[in-house]
Structure 1
């Protein structure tokens, strides 16, 4: 059993140090979660992907397998279909993972937008269940399984620090995820388990392209034109930040921003 006297293993902070590790990725059938799976497999990590849509999940598993080697064992990439906030789904994912070193939870929806005057109790409750509960559920499962130095990584967004009108409900929950990150880093510190989050800016994913006006290459280019780097980020760039947090065993309780400098502009 891990105790406060158990040291965190010191290993290479480079992504190659994740070779041989096992990562459970919740919300990994597309976008940043899928990109993280591809990157992890390319450096020799074993990956368990969790996603709601069976068809998309099957395609994601195939894509992640392509990033490995021809002689990979059959369980190098595993797919578990189901809601990432459902206990049975999480139990199956962790059971199939066996020893688990890292957990990544990515946000999967942009919902609940609208003026605060239109936010209902039921609507906010549904949003909480869809956005915040999966983070809590993953934390409950991870706390019982991660070794010393293992990591749990959440995702947030830059609108938490640069809010826009009509987003009070979803942004309040995004802020809650960041607070949860810091609180869990302290709570799980005696077990030497690490908890961090990535605050993403605009990333070119199917989720971004589902928004009005950003459903084409031209729309995506225009959306990122005013950022200091002049573009939106790629899913691979976003996922690489999660791998950094997994690999660097001296980072916990942090929310890092990956947004091309967009939060620096007015």
Structure 2
């Protein structure tokens, strides 16, 4: 008979001493997650494409809870590349939790304007990344470990010109439910957090949102009157890691935006 998943306190403090692999951890929500995890005593491994940004991110996370150099590690590369994932896991050693904010939505355009090649490329790149991450994690995570993905509320509230990228982005939510069932016998949990507008460098790269005033204006019509902070978004990931009775769920963190 398979041993039940252990009961433990679901508070973030239970993550102390664990190792968390953060894919897309050099900025935004991933970086905020790294900071929160260090504050509760977790060991963090940041993965991102840009070595210089990773170095700066590691310094930021390390400053949140100064300790040994080994408490914040980095691995440079694309999180959708299996070699990068292998190297990151090898560098980390034993990993208890994996959280991915890696990727982005590209390939936008009206269906009539998209080429078959651009659609294939968008679907192949964006849909493959979660599978690559899941394959690497499933082979290594221990019982009681967790894998958390990220999604966005545009999957539920699409707009014209986003059919290809949202099809790819939405596939992670189906994958989450399928893997939660498939990996349940090994006592590995899988969840996804569906985010609304969060104040990150990615949001501020959009037209009209490159200033505090622009971001404030963008959130003014939301139920809570503002966009979310990166730490508010990242806190949901710590919940998914710490709570051993949550799996197969799509948790929305959007300040009520999807209800407006």
TM range (shorter): over 0.9
d(CA) in 2 for partners of 1:125 and 1:64? Answer: 37
Call closer, same or farther: CA 1:24–1:56 in 2, change over 3 Å: same
Q: How far does residue 83 in structure 1 lie from its aligned partner after superposition?
A: 0.6
CA contact (8 A) 1:23 1:47 kept: yes
Aligned match of 1:48 in 45, 49, 53?
Answer: 45
Structure 1 residues 203-242: Cα deviation after superposition (integer angstroms, max 9, x where no partner): 0000011111111111111111111100000000000000
Matched, 1:256 2:255: no
| Counterpart in the other structure of 2:166 | 171
CA contact (8 A) 1:107 1:156 kept: no
Give the gaps of 5 or more residues in structure 1. Answer: none
Aligned match of 2:64 in 67, 71, 75?
Answer: 67
d(CA) in 1 for partners of 2:14 and 2:214? Answer: 38
d(CA) in 2 for partners of 1:106 and 1:125? Answer: 22
CA contact (8 A) 1:6 1:191 kept: no
Matched, 1:216 2:211: yes
Aligned match of 1:110 in 105, 113, 118?
Answer: 105
- TM-score between both structures, scaled by the size of structure 1: 0.95
d(CA) in 1 for partners of 2:50 and 2:168? Answer: 24
Secondary structure at 1:132's aligned position in 2? Answer: helix
Secondary structure at 1:242's aligned position in 2? Answer: helix
**Cα RMSD (Å) of the superposition?**
1.1
d(CA) in 2 for partners of 1:123 and 1:161? Answer: 23
| Counterpart in the other structure of 2:3 | 6
Give the gaps of 5 or more residues in structure 2. Answer: none
Secondary structure at 1:50's aligned position in 2? Answer: strand
